[in-house]
Amino acid sequence: MKTEIKVLMFGDVVGNLGCVAFQKHAEQLKQQYRADFIIVNGENCHTTGRGITPRLVNFFKHNGADLVTSGNHIWGSKEILGYWENGDADLVRPANFPSVCPGKGHAVLTKDGVRLGVLNLQGRIFMREHLDCPFRSADTALSYLKHHSDVILVDFHAETTSEKMGLAHYLDGKVAGVVGTHTHVQTADERVLPHGTAFISDLGMCGALNGMLGMQIQPVLQTFLTQMPSKFIVEQEPPAVISGVCITANVATGLAMGIERFRVIDNQVKT
């Protein structure tokens, strides 16, 4: 069995441009980092920029992803509601949604004898949904995952750096990594915390670099200027940005050995 594993984690993929950019770069990055697993946040991969469909989960799997995580936009497309009825475990939604919601908040992936547990949680500060406490939900999920995984990673889909850092310190020494998603802006604070948990406040996104968090600029500006709602549209023009980290974890201890950030800009990618 391997003594260490490397896991690539990609930030929120936004619309068609994000999907095409992921398709073009995921395999190359996997080879570059000699990664064993790929995890990607797909909550914005729908053509509208909100939600995901079963076809898009398969798209990610066919392009190297082992698991798709999500966040507040998981219910953006109704097509996904029945996805888990066949027991599919390659898409997770935040574990702290009400238990009546479809889907599960964690998954265990096995490759070359190594069991990688992945937990998806959502924050509560400045988020619209009223979810269970992510800290206590983490405790509940980890009471299961620690007995069924060698290495555990957490995608914490949250708005504020403080809540993300708080969860990372709360779990320091218990999981190999806590990575933030949701803001679509990559932070430069990646590090291994004192007790061995890799952390970054936000992975960033895969989508149009010169849009507004992957969407066209004008409708967003219009909302700022008028305080009236407007229809946000995914930006399709390159350049695209592909953002994330590679976490190296020790299989015996379940803790991080390192975290490296990547941010690729591609002027050529086209939908």
DSSP code, position 233: -
Distance of CA 202 to the CA centre of its chain: 9
How many whole angstroms from its chain centre is CA 47? Answer: 18
Helices (H), 34-174: 54-62, 134-148, 161-170
- Positions in 68-97 near Fe ion (CB under 5 A): 71-72
- Residue type, position 7, single letter: V
Q: Which residue is nearest to Fe ion (CB)?
A: 12
**Contacts (Cβ under 8 Å, ≥6 apart) of 226:** none
Output the smallest distance, CB 192 to Fe ion, in A.
Answer: 25
Number of residues that bind Fe ion (CB under 5 A): 5
Compute φ and ψ for 138, nearest 5 degrees. -60, -45
In the complex, the smallest distance separating the C-beta of residue 208 from Fe ion, rounded to whole angstroms, is 13
- Whether residue 159 contacts residue 125, with contact meaning beta carbons closer than 8 Å, is answered with yes
- Residues 165-194 within binding reach of Fe ion (CB under 5 A): 182
**Segment near Fe ion (CB under 5 A); pick from 10-18, 185-193, 222-230, 241-249:** 10-18
- The CA distance from 38 to 31, in Å, is 11
- State yes or no: residue 235 binds Fe ion (CB under 5 A): no
Active site residue 73: yes
Q: Which of 25, 73, 106, 157 does the annotation list as catalytic?
A: 73
Mark the segment that binds Fe ion (CB under 5 A) among 1-9, 11-19, 78-86, 225-233: 11-19
Position 44 contacts Fe ion (CB under 5 A): yes
Provide the binding-site residues for Fe ion, judged by CB under 5 A: 12, 44, 71-72, 182
Active site residues: 73
